[in-house]
Amino acid sequence: MNRSKSEQLFRRAQELIPGGVNSPVRAFRSVGGNPPFIARGEGSHIFDADGNEYIDYVGSWGPLLLGHRHPAILAALEQALTVGTSFGAPTEQEVEMAAAICEAVPSIEMVRLVNSGTEATMAAIRVARGFTGRDLIIKFEGCYHGHVDSLLVKAGSGLATLGIADTQGVPQAFCDTTVALPYNDAEAVETAFRQHSGRIAAVIVEPVVGNMGCVQPLPGYLEALREITARHGALLIFDEVMTGFRVAFGGAQQRYGIRPDLTTLGKVIGGGLPVGAYGGRRDIMSKVAPAGPIYQAGTLSGNPLAVAAGLAMLRYLKAHPEIYTQLEARATVLCAAVPEGITLNRVGSMFTFFFTGGPVTDYESAKRSDTARFGRFFQAMLERGIYLAPSQFEAAFLSAAHTEEDLRRTVEAAREAFSA
Protein backbone atom coordinates (compact mmCIF):
# COMPACT_ATOMS: atom_id res chain seq x y z
CA MET A 1 0.00 0.00 0.00
CA ASN A 2 1.52 3.31 -1.07
CA ARG A 3 0.97 6.08 1.47
CA SER A 4 3.63 8.57 0.31
CA LYS A 5 1.27 11.54 0.18
CA SER A 6 0.08 10.86 3.75
CA GLU A 7 3.73 10.57 4.87
CA GLN A 8 4.50 13.92 3.28
CA LEU A 9 1.45 15.57 4.85
CA PHE A 10 2.30 14.12 8.26
CA ARG A 11 5.84 15.57 8.10
CA ARG A 12 4.39 19.00 7.34
CA ALA A 13 1.66 18.65 9.98
CA GLN A 14 4.24 17.87 12.67
CA GLU A 15 5.91 21.22 11.97
CA LEU A 16 2.66 23.10 12.46
CA ILE A 17 0.44 21.12 14.84
CA PRO A 18 1.65 19.41 18.06
CA GLY A 19 2.36 15.80 17.07
CA GLY A 20 0.79 16.57 13.69
CA VAL A 21 -2.74 15.98 14.95
CA ASN A 22 -5.62 17.80 16.59
CA SER A 23 -6.33 14.97 19.05
CA PRO A 24 -3.52 12.70 20.37
CA VAL A 25 -4.73 9.19 19.51
CA ARG A 26 -4.89 10.08 15.79
CA ALA A 27 -1.08 10.12 15.65
CA PHE A 28 -0.82 6.26 15.83
CA ARG A 29 1.87 6.51 18.55
CA SER A 30 0.84 3.29 20.29
CA VAL A 31 0.76 1.13 17.15
CA GLY A 32 3.77 2.63 15.38
CA GLY A 33 3.86 3.90 11.83
CA ASN A 34 2.21 7.04 10.53
CA PRO A 35 -1.49 7.75 10.13
CA PRO A 36 -3.14 7.88 6.73
CA PHE A 37 -4.58 11.33 6.00
CA ILE A 38 -8.23 10.94 5.12
CA ALA A 39 -9.52 12.65 2.02
CA ARG A 40 -13.11 11.41 1.81
CA GLY A 41 -15.71 9.01 3.17
CA GLU A 42 -18.69 7.26 1.67
CA GLY A 43 -20.98 4.93 3.63
CA SER A 44 -18.77 2.46 5.50
CA HIS A 45 -15.62 3.30 3.52
CA ILE A 46 -12.94 5.97 3.77
CA PHE A 47 -10.26 6.95 1.25
CA ASP A 48 -6.85 8.39 2.10
CA ALA A 49 -4.84 11.12 0.39
CA ASP A 50 -3.11 8.47 -1.78
CA GLY A 51 -6.43 7.00 -2.90
CA ASN A 52 -6.24 3.85 -0.73
CA GLU A 53 -9.64 2.56 0.38
CA TYR A 54 -10.46 1.24 3.87
CA ILE A 55 -13.50 -0.25 5.59
CA ASP A 56 -13.96 2.16 8.50
CA TYR A 57 -14.57 0.82 12.02
CA VAL A 58 -13.69 4.11 13.72
CA GLY A 59 -16.62 6.12 12.36
CA SER A 60 -15.09 9.37 13.60
CA TRP A 61 -14.78 7.72 17.05
CA GLY A 62 -18.48 6.97 17.38
CA PRO A 63 -20.68 9.63 15.81
CA LEU A 64 -21.19 8.02 12.40
CA LEU A 65 -23.84 5.45 13.32
CA LEU A 66 -25.26 5.83 9.79
CA GLY A 67 -21.87 5.90 8.04
CA HIS A 68 -20.32 8.70 6.02
CA ARG A 69 -22.43 11.13 3.99
CA HIS A 70 -25.81 9.69 4.89
CA PRO A 71 -28.42 11.26 2.56
CA ALA A 72 -30.77 12.29 5.40
CA ILE A 73 -27.97 14.23 7.11
CA LEU A 74 -26.64 15.78 3.90
CA ALA A 75 -30.15 17.00 3.00
CA ALA A 76 -30.60 18.61 6.43
CA LEU A 77 -27.22 20.34 6.16
CA GLU A 78 -27.96 21.64 2.67
CA GLN A 79 -31.26 23.02 3.93
CA ALA A 80 -29.56 24.68 6.92
CA LEU A 81 -26.99 26.34 4.65
CA THR A 82 -29.74 28.18 2.83
CA VAL A 83 -30.73 30.07 6.00
CA GLY A 84 -27.42 30.70 7.82
CA THR A 85 -24.87 28.89 9.92
CA SER A 86 -25.07 30.66 13.28
CA PHE A 87 -27.16 33.34 14.96
CA GLY A 88 -26.33 33.09 18.65
CA ALA A 89 -30.06 33.44 19.22
CA PRO A 90 -32.79 30.87 19.93
CA THR A 91 -34.13 28.89 16.97
CA GLU A 92 -37.08 26.54 16.41
CA GLN A 93 -34.77 23.63 15.51
CA GLU A 94 -33.12 23.74 18.96
CA VAL A 95 -36.50 23.25 20.60
CA GLU A 96 -37.17 20.31 18.25
CA MET A 97 -33.74 18.86 19.10
CA ALA A 98 -34.40 19.19 22.85
CA ALA A 99 -37.79 17.51 22.39
CA ALA A 100 -36.22 14.66 20.40
CA ILE A 101 -33.61 14.05 23.12
CA CYS A 102 -36.13 14.20 25.99
CA GLU A 103 -38.49 11.84 24.19
CA ALA A 104 -35.78 9.28 23.44
CA VAL A 105 -34.20 9.42 26.91
CA PRO A 106 -36.99 9.79 29.50
CA SER A 107 -34.65 10.52 32.45
CA ILE A 108 -33.79 13.75 30.60
CA GLU A 109 -36.61 16.15 31.47
CA MET A 110 -34.66 19.26 30.47
CA VAL A 111 -31.55 19.52 28.34
CA ARG A 112 -28.89 22.07 27.40
CA LEU A 113 -26.94 21.80 24.13
CA VAL A 114 -23.16 22.37 24.04
CA ASN A 115 -20.43 21.77 21.44
CA SER A 116 -18.60 18.65 22.62
CA GLY A 117 -18.70 15.75 25.02
CA THR A 118 -16.04 17.42 27.16
CA GLU A 119 -18.19 20.49 27.58
CA ALA A 120 -21.14 18.31 28.52
CA THR A 121 -19.30 16.43 31.30
CA MET A 122 -17.65 19.61 32.57
CA ALA A 123 -21.06 21.27 32.88
CA ALA A 124 -22.70 18.19 34.39
CA ILE A 125 -20.22 18.00 37.27
CA ARG A 126 -20.55 21.73 37.90
CA VAL A 127 -24.33 21.33 38.04
CA ALA A 128 -23.99 18.34 40.38
CA ARG A 129 -21.73 20.37 42.69
CA GLY A 130 -23.98 23.42 42.56
CA PHE A 131 -27.10 21.39 43.20
CA THR A 132 -25.75 19.31 46.10
CA GLY A 133 -23.44 21.95 47.59
CA ARG A 134 -20.69 19.28 47.75
CA ASP A 135 -17.27 19.16 46.02
CA LEU A 136 -16.11 15.57 45.51
CA ILE A 137 -16.74 13.52 42.36
CA ILE A 138 -16.26 9.76 42.11
CA LYS A 139 -15.03 8.50 38.75
CA PHE A 140 -13.75 5.10 37.64
CA GLU A 141 -10.27 4.07 36.50
CA GLY A 142 -10.12 3.75 32.72
CA CYS A 143 -13.30 5.78 32.16
CA TYR A 144 -12.73 8.84 29.99
CA HIS A 145 -15.00 11.86 30.29
CA GLY A 146 -13.23 14.28 27.96
CA HIS A 147 -10.28 16.51 28.83
CA VAL A 148 -11.90 18.18 31.85
CA ASP A 149 -9.13 19.08 34.37
CA SER A 150 -10.51 17.24 37.38
CA LEU A 151 -11.59 14.20 35.32
CA LEU A 152 -8.14 13.54 33.83
CA VAL A 153 -7.34 11.31 36.77
CA LYS A 154 -6.85 7.66 35.82
CA ALA A 155 -8.62 8.35 32.53
CA GLY A 156 -8.74 5.98 29.58
CA SER A 157 -8.80 6.61 25.81
CA GLY A 158 -5.71 8.46 24.50
CA LEU A 159 -4.30 8.62 28.02
CA ALA A 160 -4.47 4.86 28.43
CA THR A 161 -2.60 4.51 25.15
CA LEU A 162 0.08 7.06 25.89
CA GLY A 163 0.56 5.73 29.39
CA ILE A 164 0.11 9.19 30.88
CA ALA A 165 -1.19 8.45 34.37
CA ASP A 166 -1.84 12.11 34.97
CA THR A 167 -1.43 15.07 32.63
CA GLN A 168 0.76 18.03 33.47
CA GLY A 169 -0.99 21.36 33.84
CA VAL A 170 -3.73 20.33 36.25
CA PRO A 171 -3.36 21.78 39.75
CA GLN A 172 -3.18 19.15 42.48
CA ALA A 173 -6.10 20.90 44.18
CA PHE A 174 -8.35 19.93 41.23
CA CYS A 175 -7.27 16.27 41.40
CA ASP A 176 -7.99 16.32 45.11
CA THR A 177 -11.68 16.77 44.29
CA THR A 178 -11.71 13.48 42.36
CA VAL A 179 -11.94 10.02 43.89
CA ALA A 180 -10.91 7.36 41.33
CA LEU A 181 -12.16 3.82 41.97
CA PRO A 182 -12.02 0.54 40.03
CA TYR A 183 -14.92 -0.01 37.60
CA ASN A 184 -17.37 -2.86 38.29
CA ASP A 185 -16.61 -2.82 42.01
CA ALA A 186 -19.69 -1.62 43.94
CA GLU A 187 -18.04 -2.38 47.31
CA ALA A 188 -15.32 0.23 46.56
CA VAL A 189 -18.08 2.80 46.05
CA GLU A 190 -19.72 1.91 49.37
CA THR A 191 -16.37 2.33 51.10
CA ALA A 192 -15.67 5.70 49.46
CA PHE A 193 -19.05 7.04 50.53
CA ARG A 194 -18.30 5.91 54.10
CA GLN A 195 -14.85 7.59 54.02
CA HIS A 196 -16.08 10.88 52.53
CA SER A 197 -19.42 11.01 54.23
CA GLY A 198 -21.58 13.97 53.13
CA ARG A 199 -18.92 15.31 50.72
CA ILE A 200 -19.61 13.44 47.45
CA ALA A 201 -21.63 15.43 44.91
CA ALA A 202 -21.84 12.79 42.21
CA VAL A 203 -20.68 9.53 40.71
CA ILE A 204 -19.88 9.87 37.00
CA VAL A 205 -19.67 6.65 34.99
CA GLU A 206 -19.58 5.34 31.45
CA PRO A 207 -22.45 2.84 31.89
CA VAL A 208 -20.78 0.72 29.19
CA VAL A 209 -17.12 1.73 29.03
CA GLY A 210 -15.71 2.46 25.60
CA ASN A 211 -12.53 4.23 26.59
CA MET A 212 -10.46 1.36 28.03
CA GLY A 213 -11.74 -0.68 25.12
CA CYS A 214 -15.31 -1.94 25.42
CA VAL A 215 -16.12 -3.17 28.95
CA GLN A 216 -19.66 -4.02 29.98
CA PRO A 217 -21.12 -3.49 33.45
CA LEU A 218 -21.39 -6.71 35.48
CA PRO A 219 -24.95 -7.72 36.41
CA GLY A 220 -26.16 -5.59 39.32
CA TYR A 221 -23.34 -3.02 39.12
CA LEU A 222 -25.31 -0.10 37.65
CA GLU A 223 -28.23 -0.95 39.97
CA ALA A 224 -25.82 -0.73 42.92
CA LEU A 225 -24.52 2.68 41.78
CA ARG A 226 -28.12 3.90 41.52
CA GLU A 227 -28.99 2.65 44.99
CA ILE A 228 -25.84 3.88 46.76
CA THR A 229 -25.94 7.40 45.28
CA ALA A 230 -29.64 7.80 46.09
CA ARG A 231 -29.07 6.61 49.67
CA HIS A 232 -26.30 9.21 50.17
CA GLY A 233 -28.02 12.14 48.46
CA ALA A 234 -25.43 12.19 45.67
CA LEU A 235 -26.25 12.39 41.96
CA LEU A 236 -25.67 9.59 39.46
CA ILE A 237 -24.31 10.92 36.16
CA PHE A 238 -24.33 8.58 33.18
CA ASP A 239 -21.75 9.74 30.68
CA GLU A 240 -23.47 8.48 27.53
CA VAL A 241 -21.38 10.55 25.12
CA MET A 242 -20.40 7.28 23.45
CA THR A 243 -23.30 4.98 24.33
CA GLY A 244 -26.19 7.41 23.78
CA PHE A 245 -28.18 6.40 20.67
CA ARG A 246 -25.43 3.77 20.10
CA VAL A 247 -26.11 0.75 22.33
CA ALA A 248 -29.89 1.43 22.09
CA PHE A 249 -32.01 4.34 20.89
CA GLY A 250 -32.40 5.44 24.52
CA GLY A 251 -28.74 4.65 25.31
CA ALA A 252 -27.30 2.35 27.97
CA GLN A 253 -29.91 3.55 30.47
CA GLN A 254 -32.61 2.05 28.26
CA ARG A 255 -30.63 -1.13 27.66
CA TYR A 256 -30.03 -1.72 31.38
CA GLY A 257 -33.20 -0.09 32.76
CA ILE A 258 -31.51 2.48 35.04
CA ARG A 259 -32.65 6.08 35.53
CA PRO A 260 -29.68 8.38 36.25
CA ASP A 261 -30.12 11.92 37.62
CA LEU A 262 -28.03 13.53 34.89
CA THR A 263 -26.90 12.31 31.48
CA THR A 264 -24.25 13.62 29.10
CA LEU A 265 -24.47 13.08 25.36
CA GLY A 266 -22.29 13.81 22.32
CA LYS A 267 -20.95 11.88 19.34
CA VAL A 268 -24.06 10.30 17.68
CA ILE A 269 -26.36 13.23 18.59
CA GLY A 270 -24.33 15.52 16.30
CA GLY A 271 -24.63 13.32 13.23
CA GLY A 272 -20.93 14.06 12.53
CA LEU A 273 -21.04 17.73 13.55
CA PRO A 274 -19.97 19.09 16.94
CA VAL A 275 -22.89 18.71 19.36
CA GLY A 276 -22.89 17.74 23.00
CA ALA A 277 -25.69 17.88 25.56
CA TYR A 278 -26.33 17.47 29.25
CA GLY A 279 -29.67 17.05 30.89
CA GLY A 280 -31.71 15.23 33.47
CA ARG A 281 -34.09 15.82 36.34
CA ARG A 282 -36.13 19.02 36.01
CA ASP A 283 -35.42 20.13 39.60
CA ILE A 284 -31.68 19.87 38.92
CA MET A 285 -31.62 21.40 35.42
CA SER A 286 -33.79 24.29 36.64
CA LYS A 287 -30.72 25.46 38.56
CA VAL A 288 -28.83 26.19 35.30
CA ALA A 289 -28.52 29.88 34.27
CA PRO A 290 -30.50 31.90 33.45
CA ALA A 291 -33.24 29.81 35.12
CA GLY A 292 -30.99 29.34 38.17
CA PRO A 293 -27.63 30.23 39.72
CA ILE A 294 -25.29 27.71 38.02
CA TYR A 295 -23.55 29.41 35.09
CA GLN A 296 -22.88 27.73 31.75
CA ALA A 297 -22.86 29.30 28.28
CA GLY A 298 -21.62 28.94 24.68
CA THR A 299 -21.32 31.27 21.66
CA LEU A 300 -21.91 28.47 19.15
CA SER A 301 -24.10 26.24 21.34
CA GLY A 302 -27.12 24.97 19.44
CA ASN A 303 -25.84 26.47 16.21
CA PRO A 304 -28.19 25.77 13.29
CA LEU A 305 -25.80 23.74 11.15
CA ALA A 306 -24.84 21.30 13.92
CA VAL A 307 -28.41 21.05 15.18
CA ALA A 308 -29.68 20.34 11.65
CA ALA A 309 -27.35 17.34 11.36
CA GLY A 310 -28.11 16.14 14.88
CA LEU A 311 -31.85 16.44 14.52
CA ALA A 312 -31.77 14.64 11.16
CA MET A 313 -29.81 11.82 12.84
CA LEU A 314 -32.23 11.48 15.77
CA ARG A 315 -35.30 11.63 13.51
CA TYR A 316 -33.86 9.03 11.17
CA LEU A 317 -33.06 6.67 14.06
CA LYS A 318 -36.52 7.11 15.53
CA ALA A 319 -38.10 6.27 12.17
CA HIS A 320 -35.80 3.24 11.70
CA PRO A 321 -35.71 1.29 14.98
CA GLU A 322 -34.77 -1.83 12.98
CA ILE A 323 -31.27 -0.38 12.64
CA TYR A 324 -30.46 -1.50 16.18
CA THR A 325 -31.52 -5.12 15.62
CA GLN A 326 -29.63 -5.17 12.33
CA LEU A 327 -26.48 -3.75 13.94
CA GLU A 328 -26.69 -6.33 16.72
CA ALA A 329 -27.01 -9.19 14.20
CA ARG A 330 -24.16 -7.94 12.01
CA ALA A 331 -21.88 -7.33 14.99
CA THR A 332 -22.48 -10.95 16.06
CA VAL A 333 -21.35 -12.19 12.64
CA LEU A 334 -18.24 -10.05 12.74
CA CYS A 335 -17.30 -11.08 16.25
CA ALA A 336 -17.61 -14.79 15.42
CA ALA A 337 -14.10 -14.52 13.92
CA VAL A 338 -12.36 -14.36 17.30
CA PRO A 339 -9.62 -16.99 17.75
CA GLU A 340 -8.44 -18.72 20.98
CA GLY A 341 -6.58 -16.52 23.42
CA ILE A 342 -8.35 -13.29 22.49
CA THR A 343 -11.08 -11.82 24.68
CA LEU A 344 -13.95 -10.22 22.84
CA ASN A 345 -16.12 -7.66 24.64
CA ARG A 346 -19.18 -6.42 22.75
CA VAL A 347 -22.29 -4.43 23.58
CA GLY A 348 -24.51 -3.82 20.55
CA SER A 349 -22.42 -2.27 17.79
CA MET A 350 -19.39 -1.40 19.95
CA PHE A 351 -16.69 -3.99 20.62
CA THR A 352 -13.02 -4.60 21.38
CA PHE A 353 -10.71 -7.56 20.80
CA PHE A 354 -8.40 -7.66 23.82
CA PHE A 355 -5.12 -9.48 23.29
CA THR A 356 -5.40 -11.29 26.58
CA GLY A 357 -6.91 -14.64 27.48
CA GLY A 358 -8.77 -13.69 30.64
CA PRO A 359 -12.00 -11.74 31.12
CA VAL A 360 -11.74 -7.93 30.87
CA THR A 361 -13.99 -6.26 33.44
CA ASP A 362 -11.97 -3.22 34.55
CA TYR A 363 -8.85 -1.18 33.81
CA GLU A 364 -6.50 -3.63 35.58
CA SER A 365 -7.62 -6.54 33.44
CA ALA A 366 -7.70 -4.42 30.25
CA LYS A 367 -4.07 -3.47 30.85
CA ARG A 368 -3.04 -7.14 30.85
CA SER A 369 -3.47 -7.03 27.06
CA ASP A 370 -0.41 -7.60 24.91
CA THR A 371 -0.34 -4.19 23.24
CA ALA A 372 2.66 -5.06 21.06
CA ARG A 373 0.65 -7.93 19.59
CA PHE A 374 -2.33 -5.62 19.16
CA GLY A 375 -0.04 -3.22 17.26
CA ARG A 376 1.02 -5.96 14.84
CA PHE A 377 -2.60 -7.03 14.35
CA PHE A 378 -3.61 -3.43 13.75
CA GLN A 379 -0.93 -2.93 11.07
CA ALA A 380 -1.81 -6.23 9.38
CA MET A 381 -5.46 -5.14 9.22
CA LEU A 382 -4.59 -1.66 7.92
CA GLU A 383 -2.48 -3.22 5.14
CA ARG A 384 -5.57 -5.25 4.20
CA GLY A 385 -7.76 -2.16 4.04
CA ILE A 386 -9.42 -2.45 7.44
CA TYR A 387 -9.30 0.77 9.47
CA LEU A 388 -9.52 0.07 13.22
CA ALA A 389 -8.91 2.44 16.12
CA PRO A 390 -5.09 2.69 16.51
CA SER A 391 -5.10 1.60 20.16
CA GLN A 392 -5.95 -1.48 22.21
CA PHE A 393 -7.91 0.74 24.60
CA GLU A 394 -10.61 1.93 22.22
CA ALA A 395 -13.88 0.48 20.98
CA ALA A 396 -14.58 -0.39 17.35
CA PHE A 397 -17.90 0.75 15.89
CA LEU A 398 -20.14 -0.87 13.35
CA SER A 399 -22.42 1.45 11.38
CA ALA A 400 -25.70 0.84 9.61
CA ALA A 401 -23.78 1.41 6.35
CA HIS A 402 -21.58 -1.68 6.77
CA THR A 403 -22.69 -4.32 4.25
CA GLU A 404 -22.54 -8.12 4.36
CA GLU A 405 -19.69 -7.84 1.84
CA ASP A 406 -17.78 -5.47 4.19
CA LEU A 407 -18.19 -7.99 7.00
CA ARG A 408 -17.08 -10.91 4.83
CA ARG A 409 -13.93 -9.01 3.79
CA THR A 410 -13.23 -7.98 7.38
CA VAL A 411 -13.56 -11.52 8.75
CA GLU A 412 -11.25 -12.80 5.99
CA ALA A 413 -8.68 -10.07 6.73
CA ALA A 414 -8.89 -10.79 10.46
CA ARG A 415 -8.26 -14.54 9.90
CA GLU A 416 -5.14 -13.72 7.88
CA ALA A 417 -3.99 -11.06 10.36
CA PHE A 418 -4.47 -13.31 13.39
CA SER A 419 -2.53 -16.17 11.80
CA ALA A 420 0.23 -13.81 10.57
Ligand X SMILES: *Cc1c(COP(=O)(O)O)cnc(C)c1O
Sheet containing 276-280, strands listed edge to edge, beginning at the edge strand earlier in sequence: 110-114, 276-280, 262-265, 235-239, 200-205, 136-140, 178-181
Smallest gap from Cβ 173 to ligand X, in A, equals 23
**Quick check: is 185 catalytic?**
no
**Quick check: is 261 catalytic?**
no
206 binds ligand X (CB under 6 A): yes
210 binds ligand X (CB under 6 A): yes
Q: Rule CB under 6 A: choose which of 29, 129, 139, 145 binds ligand X.
A: 145
Q: How far apart are CA 386 and CA 14, in angstroms?
A: 25
Site for ligand X in 271-290 (CB under 6 A): 276
**H helix runs in 133-171, sequence order:** 158-162
Contact between 277 and 245 (Cβ < 8 Å)? no
144 binds ligand X (CB under 6 A): yes
**Annotated active-site residue in 54, 57, 144, 278:** 144
Contact between 402 and 55 (Cβ < 8 Å)? yes
- Spell out the residues 6+ positions from residue 395 whose beta carbon is closer than 8 angstroms to its own: 62, 210, 211, 213, 214, 242, 350, 351, 352, 389
Smallest gap from Cβ 395 to ligand X, in A, equals 9
**Annotated active-site residue in 256, 267, 278, 406:** 267
Which part of the chain contacts ligand X (CB under 6 A), choosing from 2-10, 71-79, 238-246, 346-354? 238-246
Q: Rule CB under 6 A: choose which of 118, 150, 369, 410 binds ligand X.
A: 118
User: What one-character-per-residue DSSP string does 57-87 give?
Assistant: SSGGGTT-TT-BT-HHHHHHHHHHHTT-S--
Which part of the chain contacts ligand X (CB under 6 A), choosing from 139-147, 220-228, 320-328, 352-360? 139-147
Smallest gap from Cβ 408 to ligand X, in A, equals 29
Site size toward ligand X, by CB under 6 A: 15
Nearer to ligand X, 36 or 63 (CB): 63
Nearer to ligand X, 125 or 381 (CB): 125
Which part of the chain contacts ligand X (CB under 6 A), choosing from 116-124, 176-184, 218-226, 294-302? 116-124
Q: How far apart are CA 259 and CA 296, in angstroms?
A: 24
156 binds ligand X (CB under 6 A): no
- Rounded to 5 degrees, what are φ and ψ at 201? -75, -40
Smallest gap from Cβ 181 to ligand X, in A, equals 17
Q: Rule CB under 6 A: choose which of 6, 184, 211, 229 binds ligand X.
A: 211
Contact between 335 and 346 (Cβ < 8 Å)? yes
Question: 161: how many CB neighbours lie within 10 A of its CB?
Answer: 22
Comparing every residue's Cβ against ligand X, the nearest one is 117
- Rounded to 5 degrees, what are φ and ψ at 127? -65, -40
Smallest gap from Cβ 310 to ligand X, in A, equals 13
Q: Rule CB under 6 A: choose which of 116, 177, 263, 369 binds ligand X.
A: 116
Smallest gap from Cβ 117 to ligand X, in A, equals 2
146 binds ligand X (CB under 6 A): yes
Q: How far apart are CA 112 and CA 120, in angstroms?
A: 9
Which part of the chain contacts ligand X (CB under 6 A), choosing from 236-244, 277-285, 309-317, 347-355? 236-244
Sheet containing 396-397, strands listed edge to edge, beginning at the edge strand earlier in sequence: 343-347, 350-354, 396-397
Beta strands in 258-328 (DSSP E): 262-265, 276-280
Angle at 243 (CA atoms; ends 242, 248), nearest 5 degrees: 150
Mask of contacts with ligand X, 184-203, x by CB under 6 A? Answer: --------------------
242 binds ligand X (CB under 6 A): yes
Contact between 157 and 394 (Cβ < 8 Å)? yes
Angle at 391 (CA atoms; ends 408, 203), nearest 5 degrees: 110
241 binds ligand X (CB under 6 A): yes
Nearer to ligand X, 29 or 384 (CB): 29
**Annotated active-site residue in 48, 239, 261, 406:** 239
**Quick check: is 239 catalytic?**
yes
Nearer to ligand X, 108 or 414 (CB): 108
Q: How far apart are CA 76 and CA 309, in angstroms?
A: 6
In sequence order, what are the beta bridge partners of 114? 276
Alpha carbon of 175 to those of 68, 148, 150, 181, 403: distances in Å?
A: 38, 11, 5, 13, 45
**Residues of this chain that bind ligand X (CB under 6 A):** 116-118, 121, 144-146, 206, 210-211, 239, 241-242, 266, 276
Catalytically annotated residues: 144, 239, 267
